[in-house]
Amino acid sequence: MSATMTPASNDRIARRFAALKAEGRGALVTYTTAGDPDAARALEILRGLPAAGADVIEVGMPFSDPMADGPTVQAAAIRALAAGMTLKGTLDTIAAFREGDTDTPVVLMGYYNPIYIYGAEAFARDAAAAGVDGVLIVDLPPEEADEMIGALRAHGLSLIMLTTPTTDETRLDEILRYASGFLYHVSITGITGSASAENEAVDSMIRMIRSRTDLPVVVGFGIKTPEQARAFAGMADGAVVGSAIVSRIAADEDPLGFVKELANAVRGR
């Protein structure tokens, strides 16, 4: 896959980013954990996200050792696992969501261990059947991605790859050999929900990335407020908000009301 390759025109992710570009704005990308706080409530929240203003939805695959995640998302995974959520249950949740929404792109985000146990081919097949559009595997570097990328491509799924503040041009070119859908730029060196990024540093990285690919670039990690979401969605092709939403779920507050605030900010309202 070349550094300038763009997804097929019939792909939900490509259609959504093209539509947003035509609107002249970036995407609001939301993250929640499948099964948090329980399967029924998680599905209810998931179904409400598009109407609240989410343009792209990331769904976390609960895992017992989420090494890139901060305490907020770690606790969400523990709650989900304790409530009985599994990888198969996560796919069932997406399938249930798709019964009422065939347009919103859905990306699964998580770690390779559960997928390895499930089987890469079986996972890609079942994820595609459930209505998943892409997969972001935090601990799968390009050097180890051949089996997974082959399975995903065979079933029309994107492999969303990560870049970080330490990614140089040589490493970026290696990442772009595998990336499709969009790139997820980790704005800080740290875990989710931790310190916020500096705008100038992120802007510089986005410019470097865009000089080498046409793929959309979204920014995540450390985006907690509507103001930050607006700033980074305007700078990149989208902003990801996760821990700040998950913390409201944990507190039994209204996560969808907060998503509406984020969406209004991203839309300049």
Residues with catalytic roles: 58, 69
Q: Are 160 and 134 in contact (CB under 8 A)?
A: yes
Torsion of CA 133, 139, 144, 148, to 10 degrees: -20
Question: Hey, what are 139's tokens?
Answer: 């601990």
Residue 151, class by beta-carbon neighbours within 10 Å (0-12 exposed, 13-18 middle, 19+ buried)?
Answer: buried
Q: How far apart are CA 218 and CA 57, in angstroms?
A: 12
What distance, in Å, lies between the first and last C-alpha atoms of the chain? 38
Collapsing DSSP states into helix, strand and coil, what is residue 74? helix
User: What angle (nearest 5°) sits at the alpha carbon of residue 196, between those of residues 192 and 197?
Assistant: 105
Q: How far apart are CA 61 and CA 85, in angstroms?
A: 9
Pairing of strands 56-60, 238-241: unpaired
The sign of the dihedral angle between the CA atoms of 120, 123, 126, 131 is negative
Q: How far apart are CA 193 and CA 89, in angstroms?
A: 26
Could you tell me what percentage of the chain is helix, strand and coil, using 3-state DSSP and rounding each to the nearest 5?
50, 15, 35
User: What angle (nearest 5°) sits at the alpha carbon of residue 14, between those of residues 242 and 180?
Assistant: 75
Question: Hey, what are 216's tokens?
Answer: 């959309």
